[in-house]
Amino acid sequence: MLSKRDIKLIKSLRLKKHRLTNKLFVVEGKKSISEFFQSNFSLFKLFSIDQQYFNLKSKSTQITESDLKRISFLTNPDDHLAIFRIPEKKIIDESKLLLGLDGINDPGNLGTIIRTCDWYNITDIICSNDSVDCFNPKVVQSAMGSLSRVNITYLDLKKYLSSKSFNKIGTFLNGESIFETKINFDKGILVFGNEANGISSGLENELKQKITIPRNNSKNYPESLNLSNSVGIILSQLSIKF
């Protein structure tokens, strides 16, 4: 049975400060929850309207559909809601290409980028400290299980970049075309900026190479592409060269 304490805890995990204090986050739906199990994330509690499905008696609570509606962050809840523990920081694997995000703001964008990185076998994303939290329920939802396979690290991105001598490439509106530039991408970092303002001026000097996706029309519009679309287009282009 669902307790008042459970309800209070789950609702509190909508906010970053409570996720950090409790070191817990919410995953919904059987597909995503299964993927977190497969990636050895540690389950804290599971709430299911079909308790047979995961067959985890000790940590699982049978709930009703109306209970689920009460606790779910979704408009259309999907049978199960799990609380997992936020894992300890992992070491960044610098032997492979990294993705850097400077001040990403939109949770849907971050989730989609995590999913796209998973598709293109990018296993580490490095976010500046002012970026949206990857355990935000909207990020978890739009990443669709890929958050269980992609390691996200938050740090001082400027400091990190200036301490590294590997290939550092930034995406700008006025860089060299991705179709005409030679990009060496066995390892290094590819950095994207904030949705509205791009890469911050403080970071620009750290990025040796500037690249762009050419606009294929004769107008000055639109000003830019959606951020997650830009990541997809560039990773797709690089994937041919991997």
List of residues contacting a copy of itself (CB under 8 A):
35, 108, 112, 115-116, 118-121, 142, 144-146, 149, 179, 213-219, 221-223, 225-226, 228-233, 236-237, 239-240, 242
Q: Compare residues 45 and 215 and give the one whose CB is closer to a copy of itself.
A: 215
Q: Compare residues 9 and 198 and give the one whose CB is closer to a copy of itself.
A: 198
Residue pair 51/62 in contact by the 8 Å Cβ criterion: yes
Kindly state the smallest distance separating residue 219's Cβ from a copy of itself, in Å: 8
Q: Among the residues of 25-72, which ranges form H helices?
A: 30-38, 65-71
Kindly state the smallest distance separating residue 92's Cβ from a copy of itself, in Å: 18
Give dist(CA 184, CA 203) in Å, integer. 21
Output the DSSP codes for 101-131: ESS---HHHHHHHHHHHHHTT--EEEEETTS
Kindly state the smallest distance separating residue 176's Cβ from a copy of itself, in Å: 15
Q: Compare residues 92 and 225 and give the one whose CB is closer to a copy of itself.
A: 225
Kindly state the smallest distance separating residue 74's Cβ from a copy of itself, in Å: 13
Q: Compare residues 11 and 215 and give the one whose CB is closer to a copy of itself.
A: 215
Write down the residue that tokens 């740090």 correspond to. Answer: 155
Give dist(CA 124, CA 90) in Å, integer. 10
Give dist(CA 98, CA 222) in Å, integer. 28
Q: Compare residues 44 and 172 and give the one whose CB is closer to a copy of itself.
A: 172
Residue pair 101/113 in contact by the 8 Å Cβ criterion: yes
Kindly state the smallest distance separating residue 166's Cβ from a copy of itself, in Å: 21
